[in-house]
Amino acid sequence: MSMDLSEEDQLFVDVTRKWVDKECPKDWCRHLEQQEHVFPHELWDKLVEFGAHGIGVPEEYGGQGGTILNQTLFAREFSRTAAGLSWVWGVTSFSGTKAINFCGSEAQKQEFLPRIASGELKTAMSFTEAGGGTDLLGGMRTRGDKVDGGWLLNGEKIWSTGADVADYLLVMARTDMHAARRSDGISIFFVPRNSKGITITPLSKLGMRAMSSCSVLMEDVFVADELLLGEPNRGWYQSTKTLNNERLVNAATCLGMLDGVIEDAVAHMKSRHAFGQPIGQFQILQHYLADMAMWQKQGELMVLHTARLQAEDKPSAIESGMAKVLCSDYVSKAADLGIQILGGMGYSAETDMQRYWRDSRLLRLGPISNEMAKNMIAESYGMPRSF
């Protein structure tokens, strides 16, 4: 990997790659992914042994330290073999580590960050509304009503990945029904999954089948005051750093999958023969590979540039959206070409190209649709708001 990484960061990449190749090979990850709604606890345990959950957690809270750059580098290397299963790590990374870091009080950091870093706690993000989709604020129907000692939550969330095995859910709810602006009156809660009144239902889906995405129904769920993150009614503004982090990790995940696509395409083009010659000699397939390589380098530039902005706490909302759109579009196109290169075997569940194709398709939709991200990018250039 180039891009002038520091010696320390390059060493981190090298160590991570060796660990991924040894402990998380593609064929093993492919087997795990085929077991729908069966959380891969053995993969989680390997991540615990490597210390992956402590990446980005300050050392004073039991973590390994590091910045979003380290999280980005890890996400890329891990998803090269794990593909969508990389969210076994990624979901807790941003719904737990980043949310507590950005929004939590000192007491909350002391309570939760060491347990997240050690792998004791799993978390899941429950932001998306069942009828809202990308229109998170306009579609917000989940509400939190103040009661003695805490809050009562009522509503339904959807596509909450890992909610069925999480210890805590990061829930966004409207707590001021009369706020003048949609972005006001929103609060964030760290809700124990086993709270009375929560019903979780896994949803069948195209990819990432072992990592369940769920609907979360909340009926008079009591949440104590000490589990409110940050200030009440200011949750939307407090969440923006977490959301930017999520988009960047999403982009790095896509870039890692693109690395995996290229690896498998090159191996097949070298080993497969047709019409008396290796298929890598066919010009059209060479052009496919050249396109993938150029997409990979463009994605790398954008991801590392954005990671450095975030690490230095500089504005990065637009860059995060750009990286997310670029990398998710590129890996989706590359995986489709990869299936074409492998032919029938590309469509077979015995290979990984179909897994990259299925998993990457989702990442053009979430955590924000590429179309909505493009709206925001255009608006940053002075265009009128389109939504």
**pLDDT value of position 129:** 93
Burial of 277 (0-12, 13-18, 19+ CB in 10 A): exposed
Is the CB of residue 362 less than 8 Å from the CB of residue 84? yes
Can you tell me which residue has the tokens 């602006």?
181
| 110-160 pLDDT, tens digit each | 999 999 999 999 999 999 998 888 888 888 999 999 999 999 999 999 999
Confidence class of residue 194 from pLDDT cuts 50, 70 and 90?
A: very high
Token reading at 282: 């066919």
Q: Which CATH superfamily is domain 124-233 in?
A: Butyryl-CoA Dehydrogenase, subunit A, domain 2 (2.40.110.10)
* pTM for the predicted model, two decimal places: 0.95
The more confidently predicted of residues 292 and 139 is 292
| 324-377 pLDDT, tens digit each | 999 999 999 999 999 999 999 999 999 999 999 999 999 999 889 999 999 999
Class of 7-122 in CATH: mainly alpha
Q: Which residues contact 376 (CB under 8 A, 6 or more apart)?
A: 317, 318, 321
Looking at every residue in the chain, the average pLDDT score rounds to 95
Fold identical between 7-122 and 124-233? Answer: no
| 61-120 pLDDT, tens digit each | 999 999 999 999 999 999 999 999 999 999 999 888 889 998 999 999 999 999 999 999
Sign of the torsion formed by the C-alpha atoms of 22, 70, 88 and 330: negative
Q: Is the pLDDT of residue 2 over 80?
A: no
**Alpha carbon separation from 327 to 1, 44, 76, 301 (Å, rounded):** 17, 26, 11, 11
Q: Which CATH superfamily is domain 237-379 in?
A: Butyryl-CoA Dehydrogenase, subunit A, domain 3 (1.20.140.10)
Burial of 216 (0-12, 13-18, 19+ CB in 10 A): buried
Please report, as a single letter, which amino acid is at residue 114.
Answer: P
Report domain extents, the chain.
7-122, 124-233, 237-379
**pLDDT value of position 3:** 62
Angle at 129 between CA 38 and CA 221, to 5 degrees: 80
